[in-house]
Chain A
Amino acid sequence: MSSTTTYSGKTYTFNHGVHPKEFKELSSHCQIQRMPFVDEYTLPLGQHIGAPSKALVSKGDKVKRGQKIAEAGGFVSVALHSPVDGVVSEIGLFDYPNGMALPGIKIKTDPYSTQRMEEAPIDLESLDTKGFISAVQDAGIVGLGGAAFPSHVKFAVPEGKECKYIMLNGCECEPFLTADHRVMVEHPEEIIDGILILNKYLNAEKAYIGIEANKPDAIEALKAVASTSDFPIEVVALQVKYPQGAEKMMITAILGKEVPSGKLPLDLGVLVANVGTIKALSNYFRKGQPLIERVVTITGTAIKNPANILVPIGTQMKEVIELCGGVTNDAARILLGGPMMGAVQKSLDVPVVKGTSGILILGKNEVKDIEEYSCIRCGKCVDACPLFLNPSMMGLLAKKGLWDEMLEYNIMDCFECASCSFVCPSGIPLVQSFRVAKGFLREKAAREKEEST
């Protein structure tokens, strides 16, 4: 599809899906660069899915790099750490990437500190499963693929369920993004080590690492390290196709099984985690470094120097963009995450948070108004939907406001991958209307539940 090289061995995949232009060549060759320390960091307390963290510091407190500054606010919540040696300068409301102002902690960097962090490995031998789970929570680790779901919750396999396969997601199927790609190429040892640490507590039969075939260097790098491990770790090359990196699609590609509707991967004995998340696990247990930084892809057709940057959490996006030479005159849109599922961002005066996988600056060429025509029932959306839904039909029903009828077409299974809208020649906002419909139906179900109790 693109000019980048492709893995030549056997590849696997799921049915349906689409082939958007990749744009990976903009940044896939860029080595991960470390972001220099800046004067100030803004750390929202609710960067993850679940309850916000609870601040442990107050204004004027001195903090060390890696020090816990907020604790988990419940089980589905994680701790938060300072990315620098410095002083808490403010506790208040700060602009968050989704457009809201959220409570957070501002830290002023100590200009005289070397910012060196003592390595303090954690003794795995003394930890039982429960201890491991709370250690992961304490390390502030969340899913780095973009969802920012607390990882320890995933790792806590409930009674009666069993994790047979650990599956690492290195697909990175969203166009433009290359952060996971670089992490796999540059840190394969830490990823494999992370698997081994996790498996100490999960006792799985086998681990898989799913990688799209457009990252042959990542496949080779991980294969080389995986072959030295006693625990069976198979690196599986997957066809370049969107949404290959969706949990369900990757499981189907690798195991040939479907995740039953309404069930979790764990019901098939599978635990899926992003490669960056597993690397963070290794960093914590081997060096004592909690999640205070992450790799972010800064790319797009309107950024001067695309790059993959290791950014301390809390750095203002503006400063990261400046490091990349700024934007071109052509810049027309900022996106957080990939272009298929990401969100528009209005301003760059917000911090990089744990869920920031990429900052995209798109040029005018990629920002065109799409003219909408009637549905011509070409069936392209039907052939695109990885879940075999009928977006054409659901789109017609949505247009008429027949939400309840959409339930019969399994609208609630839709995971909003946007493949349908991508292919529709009539430019119908299919997934856009499904989001609205799902929200409405969810609310209605909640209301009905409340009324009946």
Chain B
Amino acid sequence: MINISKKLSVSTAPFLKDKDTTPKIMMTVVYTLIPIVLVSIFYFGLGALLVTLTAVLSCLFTEWLFNKPDNRLKSLKDGSGLITGLLLALTLPPGFPLWMVFIGGMIAIGMGKAMWGGLGQNVFNPALLGRAFLQSAFPTAITTWSPPDGRYFELRGTNAAFPFFQGKNIDTITSATPLAKMKFDHLPTDIMDLLLGATGGSLGETCAILLLFAGIYLLVKKIINWRIPLSIILTVTVFSGTFYLLNPEIYPSPVFMILSGGMLLGTVYMATDLVTSPLTPKGMWIFGIGIGILIVLIRNWGGLPEGVMYAILLMNAATPLINRFTKIRTYGHKK
């Protein structure tokens, strides 16, 4: 009657496990990114699609390349490479040369992750590291913005440039981003355009409203922690708002600050990257406030129109330190 001894499975407690798994968490993030990618294709057509596909393929390929044979399948399965690919694409202009996209993906995974020992060990957000590399290597291409004009089936800008060449821009008109207009000409952009995304910019930097929804969904699902996005947005509002009130002629309003450029993409998807942000509640506040201050500083007084990427990367670098100084007090120990 009792014959369980043969196939008995032996290990140590606990023998119950919560439902969440890392691949499930990662895939939820991927699902929230899909509408954002679709909207970018809606605005930028084939160019956006090709940039996205290239970035994803490059990231997955590099992931595969850098892992030991027995670990390859698992490293692809955890979904983190896919996320990096999608996020990298969303930070690039729709007319960006595809060969450069591919290099960006390799740098993102290779230098952003594999070099540190793989998932969980890296200090910088891989997608942003890839983008930072592209920005310094190809400063012109990465600031050539194609307008959202509904040319669905055409290549854009320098998409088709031959490897190692800049390529000739096939767009007849280019479009300045709202941030550049603000920075160099002090021209604001209509809030409605910012919300819906009918502006020039990177693939995922345009449709603010979708990013807000995605952020709220991830918060409700408890996949991202509320402290980091809230502290960034609060800091940017208060800090940039102060200058706006002092001189609305020169300084952008907080609403513009939050809805434009990479602010929301960075806040929702990159600053909240679990691996590269602090673990403790106090640390998260410090991290978010730091990012907020840096964004306003760079945007208002730096040489570049956009500062989100550098703000996050700088605070990524500070994260190990923040973790060290915000150790949680153990139960039964003194403060």
Binding site for B on A (CB under 8 A): 18, 20-21, 175, 248, 252, 258-263, 318, 321-322, 326-327, 331-335, 339-344, 346-348, 361-362, 366-368, 370-371, 373-380, 382, 386-390, 392-393, 410, 413, 418, 421-427, 431-432, 435
Contact = CB atoms under 8 A, between A and B. Distances in A.
B46 to A, nearest CB: 34
Given A373-B23, A388-B330, A426-B22, 12 more contacts: A326-B2, A388-B328, A413-B332, A418-B13, A418-B14, A423-B18, A423-B20, A425-B21, A425-B22, A425-B24, A426-B21, A431-B14
Q: Does more than half of chain A's interface fall in helix, strand or loop, or is it mixed?
A: loop
A379 B226 CA distance: 13
A376 B16 contact: no
B118 interface: yes
A425 B80 CA distance: 14
B4 A332 contact: yes
A392 B327 CA distance: 12
B74 interface: yes
Most buried by A among B12, B21, B329: B12
B8 A346 contact: yes
Given A373-B23, A377-B274, A367 B9 contact: yes
B7 interface: yes
Contacts of B15: 333, 335, 339-340, 342, 344, 362, 366-367
B330 A413 contact: yes
A377 B15 CA distance: 22
Contacts of A318: 2
B242 interface: no
19 contacts: A248-B332, A259-B332, A260-B333, A327-B4, A339-B16, A341-B13, A344-B15, A367-B15, A370-B17, A373-B78, A380-B20, A388-B331, A413-B330, A418-B14, A422-B16, A422-B17, A425-B20, A425-B25, A427-B17
Interface in B1-58: 1-2, 4-5, 7-18, 20-25
A367 B17 CA distance: 10
B212 interface: no
B279 A422 contact: no
B170 interface: no
A374 B20 contact: no
Interface residues of B, number: 43
A252 B328 CA distance: 18
Most buried by A among B119, B274, B331: B331
A262 B331 CA distance: 11
A332 B12 CA distance: 14
Nearest to B323: A393
Contact of A413 (B11, B12, B331): B331
B121 interface: yes
A428 to B, nearest CB: 10
B297 interface: no
B280 interface: yes
A20 B16 contact: yes
Nearest to A367: B9
B69 interface: no
Contacts of B121: 374
Interface in B319-335: 323, 327-333
Given A340-B14, A378-B274, A261 B330 contact: yes
Contacts of A339: 13-16
Contacts of A373: 21-23, 74, 78, 119
Given A261-B332, A388-B330, A421-B14, A348 B7 contact: no
Nearest to B279: A379
Given A335-B15, A382-B280, A427-B17, A374 B120 contact: yes
